[in-house]
Amino acid sequence: MGTQKIIGILIILVALGGGGYIIARNHFNGNGGSSSVTVVPPPPTSVTVPTPAWYEAHQDALKADNQRCAQQGTTMPPGLCANVAIADKEVSSDDFLHALNQASGTSGK
């Protein structure tokens, strides 16, 4: 490489700052100025999934998570939507039996 080229590159590097250095370094190392960025996903977080029994005792949360599972089930933590479905069926059948018992005049549960 000629002296004039080196001086020219140094002037450009000084003018552009660090970004120019990276571009020039990649270019002269054979990378052609292109670089690849590796995106590393965050590590999985530990999520506690409520049990069906917990949902039966917390029916407001059951209703909210039932709606969330219907809208975005594939993005929910594994097992959560299954537990919501189990609890929802239990609550529905309990409500049905309670209504049936009231209609027939017997006490439920």
Per-residue model confidence as pLDDT tens digits over 34-93: 556 677 766 666 778 999 999 999 999 999 999 999 998 778 888 999 999 999 999 998
Q: What is this structure's pTM?
A: 0.51
Q: In terms of domains, do 23 and 58 share one? A: no
**91: closest CA among 48, 53, 51, 50?**
53
Residue 93 placed within a domain: yes
Does residue 20 have a pLDDT over 60? no
**91: closest CA among 65, 64, 58, 68?**
58
Average pLDDT, the chain: 76
User: Residue 35 has what pLDDT?
Assistant: 55
Q: Helices 3-16 and 18-26 sit at what angle, rounded to 10 degrees?
A: 140
User: Residue 33 has what pLDDT?
Assistant: 47
Q: In terms of domains, do 96 and 61 share one? A: yes
Q: In terms of domains, do 29 and 72 share one? A: no
Residue 60 placed within a domain: yes
Q: Residue 65 belongs to what domain range?
A: 52-104
User: Residue 24 has what pLDDT?
Assistant: 54
- Please say whether the beta carbons of 77 and 49 come within 8 A: yes
Radius of gyration, CA atoms only, the chain: 32
Q: How many domains does the chain have?
A: 2
Q: In terms of domains, do 58 and 93 share one? A: yes
Q: In terms of domains, do 72 and 98 share one? A: yes
